[in-house]
Amino acid sequence: MKIQENIPLAPLTTLQVGGAARYFAAAASEDDVREAAQFAKTKHLPLFILGGGSNLVVADSGWPGLVLKIAIGGVTSQREEGTVTFDVGAGVDWDDFVAQSVAAGCAGAECLSGIPGSVGGTPVQNVGAYGQEVSDAIESVRALDLKQDRVVALPNKDCGFAYRTSIFNTTHCGRYIILRVSYRLKKDGAPSLKYADLKKHFSTWSTPPALSDVREAVRQIRRSKGMLIVPGDGDSRSAGSFFKNPVLSDTQFQDLRRRAEVRGLEIPSYPALAAQHKVSAAWLVEHSGFSKGYAVGPARISSKHALALVNSGQASAADMVRLKEQLQNKVQENWGIMLDPEPVFVGF
Ligand X SMILES: Cc1cc2nc3c(=O)[nH]c(=O)nc-3n(C[C@H](O)[C@H](O)[C@H](O)COP(=O)(O)OP(=O)(O)OC[C@H]3O[C@@H](n4cnc5c(N)ncnc54)[C@H](O)[C@@H]3O)c2cc1C
Residue 167 interacts with ligand X (CB under 6 A): yes or no: no
The answer to whether residues 58 and 347 touch, using CB atoms and an 8 Å cutoff, is yes
Per annotation, catalytic residue among 113, 192, 241, 302: 241
The answer to whether residues 299 and 325 touch, using CB atoms and an 8 Å cutoff, is no
Residue of the chain from 140, 238, 245, 328 that contacts ligand X (CB under 6 A)? 238
Residue 347 interacts with ligand X (CB under 6 A): yes or no: no
Q: Give the type of residue at 315.
A: A
Radius of gyration of the chain (CA): 21
Catalytic: 164? yes
Residue 55 interacts with ligand X (CB under 6 A): yes or no: yes
| Smaller CB separation from ligand X, 26 or 256 | 26
Residue of the chain from 18, 89, 108, 128 that contacts ligand X (CB under 6 A)? 128
| Smaller CB separation from ligand X, 177 or 317 | 177
The answer to whether residues 285 and 327 touch, using CB atoms and an 8 Å cutoff, is yes
Residue of the chain from 18, 62, 121, 246 that contacts ligand X (CB under 6 A)? 121
| Smaller CB separation from ligand X, 256 or 281 | 281
Instruction: State the minimum distance, in angstroms, from the CB of residue 236 to ligand X.
Output: 5
Instruction: State the minimum distance, in angstroms, from the CB of residue 142 to ligand X.
Output: 10
Residue 52 interacts with ligand X (CB under 6 A): yes or no: yes
Per annotation, catalytic residue among 142, 164, 237, 300: 164
The answer to whether residues 63 and 22 touch, using CB atoms and an 8 Å cutoff, is yes
Catalytic: 257? no
Instruction: State the minimum distance, in angstroms, from the CB of residue 118 to ligand X.
Output: 3
The answer to whether residues 276 and 249 touch, using CB atoms and an 8 Å cutoff, is yes
Containing 32, the helix (H) or strand (E) segment is helix 30-42
Residue 295 DSSP SS3: strand
HSE (CB half, 13 Å, CA atoms) of 315?
30
| Smaller CB separation from ligand X, 302 or 316 | 302
Instruction: State the minimum distance, in angstroms, from the CB of residue 276 to ligand X.
Output: 19
Residue of the chain from 19, 117, 191, 246 that contacts ligand X (CB under 6 A)? 117
Residue 21 interacts with ligand X (CB under 6 A): yes or no: no
Residue 115 interacts with ligand X (CB under 6 A): yes or no: yes
Residue 135 interacts with ligand X (CB under 6 A): yes or no: no
Residue 125 interacts with ligand X (CB under 6 A): yes or no: yes
Catalytic: 241? yes
Residue of the chain from 9, 26, 47, 54 that contacts ligand X (CB under 6 A)? 54
CA 231/CA 228 separation, integer angstroms:
10
Tell me the residue ranges of DSSP E strands in 105-147.
106-107, 128-129, 132-133, 138-145
Residue 322 DSSP SS3: helix
Q: What string marks each residue from 62 to 91 as x (binds ligand X by CB under 6 A) or -?
A: --------x-------------------x-
b/e per residue, 263-302, with b = 16+ CB within 10 A? Answer: eeeebebeeeeeebbbbbbbbbbbbbebebebebebbbbb
The answer to whether residues 96 and 118 touch, using CB atoms and an 8 Å cutoff, is no
Instruction: State the minimum distance, in angstroms, from the CB of residue 132 to ligand X.
Output: 10
Residues 6+ away with beta carbon under 8 Å from 58: 9, 10, 13, 15, 17, 18, 19, 317, 346, 347
| Smaller CB separation from ligand X, 99 or 227 | 227
Annotated catalytic residues are 164, 241, 342
Rule CB under 6 A: which residues touch ligand X? 14, 48-56, 70, 90, 115-118, 120-122, 124-125, 127-129, 168, 176-178, 227, 229, 236, 238-240, 344
